[in-house]
Amino acid sequence: MKATSIPVYRVSRATARVLGQGHPWILPDGESDDPSDWPPGTRVEVVGPGEQRLGLARVEGAGPIAARIWARAGVETLDDAEEVSLRVKRAVAHRRGLARRGTSLRSLEGRPYTDALRLIHGEADGLPGLCVDRLGGVLRVLVSGRACQGLVGPVIEALEAAEWPGGPGRVIEVLHLPSAERPPGPLVAWRTAPEPDWLAENLDPRGRLRVHERGLRFQVDPGLGDPRRPRPGTGLFLDQRENRETLASAAPGGDWLNLFAHTGAFSVALLAAGARRVTSVDLSGPYLAWLGDHLALNAEFGVEAERHQAVRHDGRRYLASLNRRERFDGIVLDPPTAAAAGRRFWSVQQDLEPLVVEALGRLKPGGRLLVCRNWRRARGSLSDLVQAAAGRAGARLDTIEDAGPGPDFPRRRAFPEGDSFRGVIVRRR
């Protein structure tokens, strides 16, 4: 399709400059065309001042994002079905490389088994507003934008045609749009309902699905139990898989602390790798109960409940309550952006650096600390924050290494909003 055969979307000089830097979103402003002139998903040619051609975009509509770039200027595109098929093939080919390096059965040819990973990561894979996760025998399609909502069908067809261990999988669609834009009816649903026997065999009574990560077993919640409250997450942060493996390699014989433990994936990985003791701290009783289920699921893989302590507590107050001599070989610090924490409110903007100071003071010499920050508007690097915290703690650091999302969550340099978090692993001298 030639660009001249589609509508022209004129944008401001400021928007043209941002797009020229590689950002994939067009944000509304008073000098750009009104995106509500076209239905969501419409392909438009983006033109800046002086008739500067900036590429093709798909309209999002009224809201915080006006449109999402579909192709840069000078890049030829096929019709939607063919273009989607091409982009899906590229994405799957990248993940198939992960499969050859260990994303396969635990007992198959001696390699660990992972069947929980991201196959399509939105803008980074050229499918803006769409993410697809492989969760065992299920493909979970997360739609977070209207620009590509109409392309879900072609995306699924392309995935079903792709060769992947375990076959194409059943499909769950999750429509995670702002509340004002949500249509009536269920927002989390099977694309085609599976047979009752399959449901009985694969989903537990709570609607959770079993998946594997490097041979360990976890239960994820695809969201079917509460279809009017769509959530992007499932109870297992797939983007932290590589960090779990990295820390597990240093776990044998050590004492570890997992703050903001969530459902305990880090704790399970550390125990399975031979940690002497792991303490998991979270303020949520349901998350800690879920963590207990994960421990039980992996008992045969060396995950012994006797070496684990679950503590329902706010992470900040828990650290402050410890004996002043208490030290750990490793600490996992992966807090939410914001959350209620008893009488206090947790804010990563205000509270992260003081907590890093406290955590560094609790590390043994040679101990490791994983620090994650998922605040996308943060200024300054996370490494600088940790270095400043180390100075305040009087802690000398041996190494500080990037520990961002795994390779199935690719990054775009000009698009920090596409990163689920930023992370570093430091080692204390």
What kind and span of H or E run contains 136? none
pLDDT of residue 4 exceeding 60 = no
Q: What is the pLDDT of residues 360-414, one digit of tens each?
A: 999 999 999 999 998 877 778 999 999 999 999 999 999 999 999 999 999 998 9
- Cα distance between residue 95 and residue 139, in whole Å: 14
Give the pLDDT of residue 113: 83
Segment among 104-108, 113-117, 204-208 with least mean pLDDT? 104-108
What is the pLDDT, as a whole number, of residue 124? 97
13: its two tokens? 């000089």
pLDDT of amino acid 45: 97
Whole-model pTM?
0.94
Whether pLDDT at 103 is above 60 = no
Question: What percentage of the chain exceeds 70 in pLDDT?
Answer: 93
What pLDDT, on a 0 to 100 scale, did the predictor assign at position 2?
44
Among 175-179, 261-265, 306-310, whose mean pLDDT is lowest?
175-179
pLDDT tens digits, 118-150: 999 999 999 999 999 999 999 999 999 999 999
Q: pLDDT for 149-167, tens place per residue?
A: 999 999 999 999 987 766 7
pLDDT tens digit sequence for 243-284: 999 999 999 999 999 999 999 999 999 999 999 999 999 999
Lowest mean pLDDT among 112-116, 200-204, 268-272: 112-116
- Residue 102 pLDDT > 50: no
Residue 316: how many other CB atoms lie within 10 Å: 18
DSSP letters of 16-69? HHHHHTT--EE---TTSPPGGGS-TT-EEEEEEGGGEEEEEEEE--SSS--EEE
Q: Is the Cβ–Cβ distance between 88 and 155 less than 8 Å? A: yes
* pLDDT tens-place string over residues 325-374: 999 999 999 998 766 655 566 677 788 999 999 999 999 999 999 999 98
- pLDDT mean across residues, the chain: 92
- The count of other CB atoms within 10 Å of the CB of residue 162 is 17
Which strands form 25-26's sheet, in the order they lie side by side? 8-10, 43-48, 52-59, 67-72, 25-26
- Three-state DSSP at 424 gives strand
Give the pLDDT of residue 3: 43
- Which domains are seen in the chain, by residue range? 6-72 (2.30.130.10), 80-220 (3.30.750.80), 238-428 (3.40.50.150)
pLDDT at 98: 72
- The torsion region of residue 165 among left (phi > 0), alpha (psi -120 to 50) and beta comes to beta
Q: Which two tokens stand for residue 108?
A: 């198959």
Q: What pLDDT is recorded for position 169? A: 86
Predicted confidence at residue 168, as pLDDT, reads 79
Could you tell me which residues come within 8 angstroms of residue 301 by beta carbon, excluding any fewer than 6 positions away? 215, 216, 272
Per-residue confidence (pLDDT) for residue 5, from 0 to 100: 77
Nearest to 128 by CA among 94, 97, 169, 91: 91
- Between CA 429 and CA 427 the distance in angstroms is 7
CB contact at 8 A, 350 and 339? no
Rounded to whole angstroms, the Cα distance separating 37 from 35 reads 5
User: CA 187, 190, 195: angle at the middle one, nearest 5?
Assistant: 150
| Parallel/antiparallel/unpaired status of strands 52-59 and 43-48 | antiparallel
112: pLDDT strictly greater than 90: no
Lowest mean pLDDT segment, chosen from 36-40, 195-199, 317-321, 374-378:
374-378
pLDDT of residue 422: 94
